[in-house]
């Protein structure tokens, strides 16, 4: 009875069937805890990078992630292949928990400039005294390490979540349950942002102390994922598919060739790269204004947490209310234009608004970019992949997600660094306003490029879609010719459409007997 009520409740968020309910709820809870943790870490990460590093150093955080994340993904794949799945997930979570304590200790030492941990032996005292000297000396290098660690945390945690989903559910089950999982992740992000904003704004804890909240959440996540694997055998195999076979590994060179062979995929990759570069430059505009407007670390962390909270809330409402209606009413032709047109209008406004309104403008610009990226732009991206054959799509997405996106982020960082150095912003009195407006020129270039590429992609879209559908129609005609007597079928339909009541009833009765498998072998 309880399982029935749970199933009915979960069906509000996804298509949950039978004994899937408990496993689906547990995995959704795991994703909730992961996003809860990340949206506590994310405001701390952004606030510390903005506050503790000079603007000329910001790009190095993005460049380090773009250059090194591939090695982390490769190491993760090797561990995944060598360790038992449950051991691998447990070890990764324990590593992240230990890392959070280390980062908290480093940030606490930098703030207090004194050692708070008592030690018993002289060697221990010497070690902590060395740390007390070394941390300020190498500052803000630990902040860059923390930023890279945070990026690794979200990439690996999301990957581990989908690995667990694939271990427990078949592919068709996972597709049915994705709405429930996304809901859990969304609520986790909202809860994490709200908690971070409230605790720092109310002066309950310092920004770096938020890192001490996260280990408790990850311990709960560790317990949750072990419960999932402990109860995996209880899942009703009859309700879903058989065991999931491991997908064949695809190399970067092979995925690059798959994109290179298709003009459509090349245009799509260029369009997505332009959007990523523009978004990266808008992010630097946001950092510049926030650094100038909010100097206090606690106020800045609280502000950024509220900013992410608003983005998640607006994205949820926008997605539920407008995304489906726009796609249904106007189709992909106009939906693909909404994000670049809105951002172009917003970027043009930066040359007109006064300096006092810059914080509101930059929040609207970055908020709009992230909201569109989470909602209609994401839906359009998935639709643009529809006409691509499944085997090519898999390879293309690997190349675009792992190379094109990182390349675009790195290029955006390089452009900001180049502009900052050439224009010597560090020595100018109008620094924040000048940076934002001159970055606005670069942003507009890539936004207009994005807009042009959307038209080129859409121009190719119908031809690729027809090419993908044509073989299916051919297969359909062949199946009809092989298994259906067309002349007899036409005769039956003509008879049914006529007013010959007795003949029509005869055919309908025959069809009814066929459906019930009640005809004798002779008939």
pLDDT at residue 254 is higher than 80: no
3-state secondary structure 235-291: CCHHHCCCCCCCCCCCCHHHHHHHHHCCHHHHHHHHHHHHHHHHHHHHHHHHHHHHH
Residue 333 has pLDDT above 60, yes or no: yes
**Region 501-515: what's the mean pLDDT?**
67
**Cα–Cα distances in Å, from 402 out to 68, 78, 255?**
12, 17, 10
Claim to verify: residue 499 and residue 395 sit in the same structural domain: no
| Predicted local confidence at residue 245, as pLDDT | 44
246 part of a folded domain = no
Do 170 and 299 belong together in one domain?
no
pLDDT in tens, 167-219: 787 766 766 777 778 778 888 999 999 999 888 887 888 888 999 999 999 99
Q: Is the pLDDT of residue 13 over 70?
A: no
Looking at the domain assignment, is residue 419 inside a domain? Answer: no
Q: pLDDT per residue over 441-453, tens digit each? A: 999 999 999 999 9
Statement to judge: residues 17 and 107 lie in one domain: yes
Question: What is the rounded CA–CA span in Å between residue 172 and residue 192?
Answer: 31
Q: Which of these ranges, 293-297, 344-348, 462-466, has the smallest mean pLDDT?
A: 462-466
Tokens, residue 515? 């459906």
pLDDT tens digits for range 111-146: 776 444 444 444 445 555 666 667 777 788 889 999
Q: Which letter does DSSP use for residue 12 in this model?
A: T
Pick the last residue of a domain from 241, 269, 302: 241
* 420, part of any domain: no
- Is the same domain home to 440 and 490? no
**pLDDT of 479 strictly over 50:** yes
Domain check: are 136 and 258 in the same one?
Answer: no
Nearest to 346 by CA among 326, 329, 334, 360: 360
**Mean pLDDT computed over 330-352:** 90
The reply to whether 504 falls in a domain is: yes
Q: What is the reported pLDDT for 74? A: 78
- CATH number of 362's domain: 1.20.1250
Tokens linked to 305: 């947490």
Q: Tell me: do 132 and 174 sit in the same domain.
A: yes
Asked if residue 83 lies in contact with residue 92, where contact means CB atoms within 8 angstroms, the answer is no
Q: Does the pLDDT of residue 47 top 60, yes or no?
A: yes
What is the span of the domain harbouring residue 10? 1-241
Q: Are residues 275 and 185 located together in one domain of the fold?
A: no
Residue 520 belongs to some domain of the structure: no
Q: What is the DSSP letter of 212?
A: G
Q: What is the pLDDT of residues 347-358, one digit of tens each?
A: 999 998 888 899
Within a domain: residue 295?
yes
Residues in contact with 314: Cβ distance below 8 Å, sequence separation at least 6, in sequence order = 367, 371
178, 206, 241 - which closes a domain: 241
For all residues of the chain together, what is the average pLDDT?
Answer: 80
Question: Is there a single domain that holds both residue 202 and residue 313?
Answer: no
Instruction: For the chain, give the percent of residues with pLDDT over 70.
Output: 75
Burial of 282 (0-12, 13-18, 19+ CB in 10 A): buried
**Structural domains in the chain (count):** 3
Which of 241, 276, 292 terminates a domain? The answer is 241
Asked whether residue 407 is assigned to any structural domain, the reply reads no
Q: Is the pLDDT of residue 486 over 90?
A: no
pTM beyond 0.95: the answer is no
Q: Select the highest-mean-pLDDT range: 222-226, 244-248, 489-493, 510-514.
A: 222-226
CA dihedral for 370, 375, 378, 384, sign (positive or negative): negative
Q: Give the Cβ contact number of residue 69 at 10 Å.
A: 18
Quick one: pLDDT at residue 305? 93
> Of the segments 177-181, 376-380, 463-467, 514-518, which one has the largest average pLDDT value?
376-380
Structure token pair of residue 145: 């390490």
Q: For residues 280 and 215, give the distance between their C-alpha atoms in angstroms, rounded to a whole number.
A: 30
Residue 310 has pLDDT above 90, yes or no: yes
Distance separating alpha carbons of residues 85 and 16, to the nearest angstrom: 25
Q: Give yes or no for residue 456 having a pLDDT over 70.
A: yes
Q: Looking at the structure, tell me whether residues 102 and 234 fall in a common domain.
A: yes
Q: Report d(CA 285, CA 287) in Å as an integer.
A: 6
Quick one: three-class SS letters along 137-183? HHCCHHHHHHHHHHHHHHHHHHHHHHHHHHHHCCHHHHHHHHHHHHH
**Could you tell me if 382 and 294 lie in one domain?**
yes
Which of 240, 220, 233 shows the shortest CA–CA distance to 177?
240
Contact partners, residue 438, CB within 8 Å, separation at least 6: 419, 423
- Residues 464, 495: one domain? no
Q: Which residue has the higher pLDDT, 283 or 166?
A: 283
> Does residue 322 share a domain with residue 217?
no
3-class DSSP state of 190 = helix
Residue 280 lies in a domain: yes
């Amino acid at each position: 009875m309880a399982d029935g009520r749970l199933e009915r409740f979960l069906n509000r968020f996804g298509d949950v069937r039978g004994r899937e309910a408990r496993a689906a709820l547990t995995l959704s809870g795991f994703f909730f805890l992961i996003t809860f943790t990340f949206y506590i870490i994310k405001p701390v990460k952004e606030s510390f990078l903005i506050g503790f590093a000079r603007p000329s150093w910001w790009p190095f955080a993005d460049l380090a992630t773009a250059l090194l994340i591939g090695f982390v993904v490769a190491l993760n794949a090797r561990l995944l292949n060598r360790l038992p799945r449950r051991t691998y997930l447990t070890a990764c979570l324990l590593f992240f928990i230990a890392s959070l304590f280390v980062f908290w200790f480093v940030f606490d030492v930098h703030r207090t400039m004194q050692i708070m941990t008592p030690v018993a032996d002289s060697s221990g005292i010497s070690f902590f005294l060395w740390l007390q000297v070394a941390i300020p000396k190498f500052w803000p290098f630990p902040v860059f390490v923390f930023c890279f660690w945070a990026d690794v945390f979200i990439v690996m945690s999301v990957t581990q979540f989908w690995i667990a989903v694939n271990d427990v559910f078949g592919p068709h089950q996972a597709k049915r349950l994705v709405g429930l999982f996304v809901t859990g992740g969304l609520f986790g992000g909202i809860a994490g942002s709200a908690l971070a904003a409230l605790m720092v704004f109310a002066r309950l804890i310092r920004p770096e102390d938020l890192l001490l909240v996260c280990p408790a959440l990850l311990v709960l996540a560790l317990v949750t994922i072990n419960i999932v694997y402990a109860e995996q055998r209880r899942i009703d195999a009859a309700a879903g598919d058989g065991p999931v076979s491991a997908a064949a590994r695809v190399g970067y060179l092979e995925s690059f060739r798959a994109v290179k062979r298709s003009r459509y995929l090349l245009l799509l990759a260029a369009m997505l790269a332009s959007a990523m570069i523009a978004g990266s430059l808008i992010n630097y505009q946001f950092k510049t204004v926030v650094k100038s407007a909010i100097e206090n670390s606690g106020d800045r962390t609280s502000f950024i947490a509220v900013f992410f909270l608003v983005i998640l809330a607006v994205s949820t409402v926008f997605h539920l209310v407008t995304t489906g209606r726009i796609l249904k009413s106007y189709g992909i032709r106009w939906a693909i234009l909404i994000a670049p047109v809105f951002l172009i209008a917003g970027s043009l406004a930066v040359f007109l608004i006064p300096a006092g309104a810059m914080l509101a403008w930059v929040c609207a610009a970055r908020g709009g970019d992230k909201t569109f990226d989470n909602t209609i732009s994401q839906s359009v991206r998935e639709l643009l992949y529809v006409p691509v054959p499944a085997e090519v799509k898999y390879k293309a997405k690997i190349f675009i997600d792992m190379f094109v996106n990182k390349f675009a982020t790195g290029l955006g960082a390089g452009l900001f660094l180049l502009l900052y150095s050439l224009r010597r912003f560090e020595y100018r009195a109008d620094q924040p306003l000048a940076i934002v407006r001159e970055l606005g020129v670069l942003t507009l270039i890539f936004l207009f490029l994005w807009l042009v590429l959307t038209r080129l992609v859409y121009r190719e879209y119908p031809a690729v879609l027809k090419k993908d559908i044509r073989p299916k129609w051919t297969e359909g005609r062949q199946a009809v010719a092989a298994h259906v007597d067309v002349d007899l079928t036409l005769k039956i339909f003509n008879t049914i459409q006529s007013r010959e009541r007795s003949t029509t009833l005869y055919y309908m009765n025959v069809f009814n007997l066929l459906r019930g498998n009640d005809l004798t072998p002779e008939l």
